[in-house]
Chain A
Amino acid sequence: MKSFFLLPVALLALTIGAGAAAEGEEGTSLEKRIQNLKREVLSLNRDLFILEEELLFPANSQVAVFLSLDVGRFFQLDSVQLKIDDKPVTGYLYTRREGEALRRGGVQRLWVGNLPSGEHELVALFVGKGPHDRDYRRATSITFEKEPGPKYLEIRIRDSEAMMQPEFEIREW
């Protein structure tokens, strides 16, 4: 009287981690077509991104500001505000996920815009938690020369082991 016994089914259902089940011929062909479509979509996305960037931020006037975080033990970034030539250009509030992405080596493109050739001043104001979980506000600035061709600036937040404090600097690329 064990004809309805589920045991074999139970054991079969337990195997995991093996490769995907082989699909029928139709499935394989569909899969191939989907893969081709995805590749074409990726290529289209890239072309459109370049087109938009050329139109919106032509190389000669383009300025991009990036932000990176090295280690981040002494500073937990909550928000940042950017001013260029004393005008606010962007403010950004960080989620935990974004903070974690920065800590793991990610570099955020914080702002991209257009500036005329000549001298400009960038000021970045950081708000977050410093050593011992204390509220922390710091600002850093740089005066830079915009020349023809895109200009990249990287704001780096680093741990100063000697000072047990975060350090803020802006680097021109």
Chain B
Amino acid sequence: MYRRSLPSFLLLLFAVSDVAVAGSWGKVENLHYGEALYHFHQGKYLDALMALDVAETGHGLAPNEDQAQLLRGSLYLAYGLPGAASELFRDVLDRFEAPEIVAQAWLQLARIHFRSGEVEEAARVLARIGEALPPSRLPQRDLLTVEIALARDDPDTALRVVEGMAAVRELHYARFNTGVWLLAHGRREEGVTLLDRVGTLDSRGDPELAALRDKANVALGYTWVRNDDPNRVTTYLQRVRLEGPFSNKALLGLGWGYAEAGLFRRALDPWLLLSSRSHLDPAVQESLLAAPYAMEKLGARRQALEFYLNSVAGLSQERERIGEAIASIRDGGFLEELLATNPDRKGIAWSWQLERLPDHPASHYLRHVLAGNRFQQGLRRYRELQEIENRLADKAADMVVLEQMLETRRQAFHDRLPKIEERLARHEIQDLRGRRDRLSRQLEEITSGERPLALANDRELRLLARLERAEERLQRLQGLGDTGDAAEKLRLLRGVLYWQIASDFAPRRWAARRALRDLDQALEELERQMTSLKRARHSAPEGFEGYDTRIDSNRHRIRLLLAESRTLRNHQAEQLKALALEGLEAQRSRLGNYLAQARFAIARLYDELAQEFPAVERPSGAALPPATGEIR
């Protein structure tokens, strides 16, 4: 599929963003404010807004409350909510006192007024900014001051501000706007001086500034076209990039510069070059008439006639194609193709820009309409609505997931409840505590009665038992023989065993006490667990009860908003379609005008040539009179 890039001057429309990205947003002392900034600096404005809104309803944004409110206002402004933004900035002025915060709120309010066309109110608000604005915001203030001054027909203030501005991006826009204003109001020398600085700025690697530079040079060139100074025209228009979006305009102007000075031979070069380019561009269309006009002036009437005839063929063909484009726009589908060709790669509807044209019959004729501010704004709104619908559809799906999750929780709780109830009813803790207390008493008795044998280990107990059995047996054997040695041996063994146990009594008593302490800890842990289990048994239902109503209510909201968004998107689509058709009709009308002029010129030339050379016949292709002048 053939795709053509849109001219980069489209970017200019958004050159000075509503969100002042540059500049300081204060020291981050609140995690949630920092989180909003993290999204903001990545251009994820919706996420940034969400972080601020959620923090405000929860943990708050102190001590960054004032900066957060400023940020939220700027985000609302960028999201196309000037009313809401205005309310927020007014709130900042009411609630906060830090001079740099207040100054920034005034600046933003002034921008909102200016954009709404309330120039005087904007000027009044601007005057309240004072001196506390952070340095990073000064260029924005200065540019706004210049724009307001020009809107109030006060170029001297604009000039004074431009002179004092720092060499940053805003300075070029301020110079450009002031320069154009001055030219348009007859203050040519001053206007030229300003535009010349824009026209010579170093724009390498910056397509936006390169386009601004081209625009300045085109404006300068055309200024001198009207003043018959081909050298100046050449100087300025030759600065325009040959492959840039303004090169056609520059070539046309170059030709007119020479033509106005009577240099028709030189005028032909740019016009002939231009006429070989795509006929879609208005400048090229005009060259189709300008070139034969120059030929006529040079006396090459036959060539002029041929050229006019070719121009009529070319222009007629274009007009027919425009007719087809109009029909295809009426059939619908163009907008969808346009958006499908420009997917939202970043997931950020409001910073989305049109970069490519779809392979559609209307695309090429709509380049200029698409580049227009009204169409761009409308398209952006359409894209935003589409994005809103996508998000709402996702949210509707989330509601289903949340519901399933709640159901799972509810089920798990009901499944586990009988076991929990049974466990809680067993009173294990009391039983275990009773056993522990008995053991403790036993140990006390052993300790106070100094009964080391009570602390004998299993092996020792087995040995003691064997000794007792041996002694019993010895008892039974008494009188049957000499058992004295055996009895003595047993007595000795018992003594050794007793001595071993008794000498280890203290460490054994200590170990027993430690074991008792370990048991106490284990019992405490068990008690904690049982308390937690009791608490969970009562609080677990909170994890799923009451949410059903909230989910239902939100699902209802989503449905309503989706319906409203679809309706608005359809309205917006109709508006865009009307704008596109309006643009195409204007082109068709302009082509009609050119065609009429070309046909008139053809008729005139035929008449002139017929009078001079009666053999000349009307139909194209018939024998033409000998040339009265040839252009080689």
Contacts and interface: CB of A to CB of B under 8 A. Distances in A.
Contacts, number: 193
Interface stretch (A28-36, A72-80, A83-91): A28-36
B84 interface: yes
A154 B31 contact: yes
B147 A18 contact: yes
A156 B157 CA distance: 48
B442 interface: no
Given A10-B253, A21-B373, A52-B402, A38 B388 contact: yes
B547 interface: yes
Given A1-B293, A107-B37, A41 B561 contact: yes
Given A49-B50, A106-B34, A5 B256 contact: yes
B77 to A, nearest CB: 12
B521 interface: no
A35 B81 contact: yes
B83 interface: yes
B80 interface: yes
Which of A18, A20, A31, A105 has the most chain B CB within a 10 Å cutoff? A105
B49 to A, nearest CB: 6
Query: By DSSP majority rule, is chain A's interface helix, strand, loop, or mixed?
Result: helix
Contacts of A50: 54, 57-58
A98 interface: yes
Interface string A116-147: 00000000000000000000000000000000
Interface string A10-27: 110011111111110011
Contacts of A66: 31, 34-35
A105 B568 contact: no
A30 B385 CA distance: 12
Query: By DSSP majority rule, is chain B's interface helix, strand, loop, or mixed?
Result: helix
A40 B565 CA distance: 11
Interface in B400-416: 402, 405-406
B475 interface: no
B477 interface: no
A20 B554 contact: no
A153 to B, nearest CB: 10
A173 B42 CA distance: 25
Interface in A55-105: 55, 58, 66, 68, 97-98, 100-102, 104-105
25 contacts: A4-B286, A11-B222, A14-B180, A14-B215, A15-B180, A16-B215, A17-B15, A17-B143, A19-B116, A23-B374, A30-B575, A34-B381, A35-B80, A40-B557, A41-B391, A44-B554, A45-B50, A48-B395, A55-B402, A55-B543, A55-B547, A97-B42, A106-B37, A106-B41, A173-B31
Given A16-B15, A17-B177, 18 more contacts: A3-B597, A4-B594, A5-B286, A11-B183, A11-B184, A21-B374, A23-B374, A35-B83, A37-B561, A38-B384, A42-B53, A47-B554, A48-B395, A55-B406, A55-B543, A101-B37, A107-B37, A154-B31
